[in-house]
Chains A and B, each alone.
Chain A
């Protein structure tokens, strides 16, 4: 069965960086894109960007362009999402999701809580 398993919770200081991983299993990793979505406490879902796991091409929301980098390691069937220059507003649960077609985010990771606090 398809599974996306994310790395554990992180606590970071303002200005630091964080890298969250998303390990896929149960399907051919490089056949489907991986998206990253975050949710600050009590707030809406926020789409951050996605990676074509086949060729490595990426696309980011304007809001996160330049501060977020999505990569993949096909040998490990894992996608990564790094946020730099963290600020308190980046405190959120970060999710990875696999699409099957446009807008069809059918499989989600369990979420990774990133807390930014001094």
Chain B
């Protein structure tokens, strides 16, 4: 079955430390890939997206993600975490690259940042 896996439910890092959030998908072809962030009590905000081309994509708030076809992964990274990055992060895929918007979301990773 098609699925998106975020293996880490919770991650805690110290402010200033680096961060990597994992995302794996299982689809036959390369889907469109997204990372969203949800701050407490808020809606979802797009951090970055990958459709094609350069496999390292830059997003807002200093985040980047790397698409690795061989590993079916799209991991999110940030070199130095700020306290304001504490939030829940969702990986999502649009498995039909014609853009049907039937996103499949991962279960999310909740990030806690220690001062």
| A and B found bound together | no
List the interface of chain A (C-beta within 8 A of B). Answer: none
